[in-house]
């Protein structure tokens, strides 16, 4: 059974490599321009100014983050001291998530047109986080990380960079999926970082994943064997975005007959809500997501499901954990220590941030401002849904403006 699963996984990886050298049929479909663009090109294509900034973490990873200083047609360009909103993507994703839809549907564009100073973060190991001051992206050392390190190093590095460059002492933080997870970790233990975050908007919030469903749940059944398998075959990154994914999106996802096939791939992890899926944008979603992460990070998620705890990476033995943590078991993260005012937006059809896990999280959060439940939504609806602007983004903006007014009074 295990061997069959591993052979399937290896076969998929091999197929990607084979088709990487192929070429899409120029007569099939009409490509959406953003399919072949990087995130900065996507932003510029839609008429927005964009800056790229390199942020180096304390442990040497170089993260490329994007800045949208104002809206289209110079809207809000001359507005002084615009509030900063920092957007952080989720698991297997990148900053492209926030600009993958039309300008009136994408959170980053909506914020820029509403006179916010918008910054888009990226995590180590994704499309825009594959550089290190010392290690090659082809080395084991480069890929030796999980969300533990993203919270400890990546998040503080990016937020500290933004506040330093802008000269503003504080910002608003909105995260999706894993982007909420690292917030729940670091905003509960990093006093200096906490001072810089005025409010935390958690979209599809993740801490424990005890009740998760979908592909990641089934992956957890094979965690020890999967770890050994990838060690043997030398695979260090998991589902990177590359040319084969772009080719597949061009060949397949642009056609009505197979759009459901492409959407099913997304829903394997996220849950099902086809009513909210903009099928015409599928080629863009598929070409930019998944954007990659480490095998260790996926194994860490699987460990959380098996343990039922929100804890650091388990190195597999008391001796190894003792070496890393000074104790035989991984330390647990304490969400009851989260000191940033927090709002949660969660869905009833979310296979990763299951409602039972979210309800458990809400009971522990000490500074919860409010929460908004959308019964029909899945995990990806919070970044791509047709109604994401009226149901979530506009709501976040109203609360930010209200909080700004309170702070000034």
Q: Rounded to the nearest 5 degrees, what angle is found at the Cα of 114, between the Cα atoms of 108 and 120?
A: 25
Dig out the tokens for 366 from the structure: 């000490």
CA 14/CA 199 separation, integer angstroms: 44
Dig out the tokens for 241 from the structure: 């975005």
Place of tokens 């909080």: 403
CA 77/CA 74 separation, integer angstroms: 5
Asked if 35 contacts 246 with a C-beta cutoff of 8 angstroms, the reply is yes
Largest CA distance in the chain: 64
CA 227/CA 159 separation, integer angstroms: 32
Q: How far is CA 37 from CA 22, 40, 96, in A?
A: 19, 8, 10
Write the DSSP symbol of residue 393. Answer: I
CA 84/CA 400 separation, integer angstroms: 10
Dig out the tokens for 202 from the structure: 């958690």
Q: Which residues are catalytic?
A: 177, 350, 379
């Amino acid at each position: 059974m295990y061997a069959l699963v591993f052979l399937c996984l290896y076969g998929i990886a091999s197929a990607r490599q084979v088709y990487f050298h192929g070429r899409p049929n120029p007569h099939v479909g009409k490509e959406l321009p953003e399919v072949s663009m990087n995130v900065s090109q996507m932003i510029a294509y839609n008429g927005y100014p964009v800056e790229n900034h390199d942020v180096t973490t304390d442990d040497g990873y170089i993260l490329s983050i994007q800045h949208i200083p104002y809206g289209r047609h110079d809207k809000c360009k001359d507005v002084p001291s615009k509030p900063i909103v920092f957007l952080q993507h989720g698991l297997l994703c990148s900053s492209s998530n926030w600009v993958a839809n039309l300008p009136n549907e994408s959170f980053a564009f909506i914020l820029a047109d509403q006179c916010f100073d918008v910054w888009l973060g990226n995590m180590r190991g994704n499309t825009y986080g594959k550089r290190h001051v010392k290690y090659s992206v082809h080395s084991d050392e480069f890929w030796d990380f999980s969300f533990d390190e993203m919270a400890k190093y990546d998040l503080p590095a990016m937020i500290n960079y933004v506040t330093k460059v802008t000269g503003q002492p504080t910002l608003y933080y909105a995260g999706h999926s894993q982007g909420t997870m690292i917030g729940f970790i670091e905003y509960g233990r990093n006093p200096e970082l906490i001072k810089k975050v005025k409010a935390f908007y958690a979209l599809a919030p993740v801490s424990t994943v005890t009740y998760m469903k979908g592909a990641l749940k089934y992956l957890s059944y094979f965690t020890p064997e999967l770890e050994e398998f990838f060690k043997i075959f030398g695979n260090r990154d998991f589902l990177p975005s590359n040319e084969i994914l772009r080719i597949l999106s061009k060949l397949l996802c642009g056609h009505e007959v197979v759009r459901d096939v492409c959407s099913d791939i997304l829903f394997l992890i996220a849950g099902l809500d086809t009513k909210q899926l903009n099928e015409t944008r599928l080629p863009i979603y598929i070409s930019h997501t998944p954007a990659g992460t480490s095998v260790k990070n996926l194994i860490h998620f699987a460990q959380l499901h098996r343990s039922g705890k929100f804890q650091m990476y388990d190195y597999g033995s008391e001796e190894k954990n003792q070496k890393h943590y000074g104790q035989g078991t991984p330390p647990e993260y304490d969400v009851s220590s989260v000191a940033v005012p927090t709002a949660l937006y969660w869905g009833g059809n979310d296979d990763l941030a299951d409602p039972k896990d979210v309800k458990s999280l809400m009971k522990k959060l000490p500074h919860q401002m409010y929460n908004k439940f959308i019964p029909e939504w899945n995990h990806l609806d919070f970044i791509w849904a047709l109604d994401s602007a009226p149901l979530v983004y506009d709501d976040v903006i109203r609360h930010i403006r209200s909080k700004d007014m309170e702070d000034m009074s």
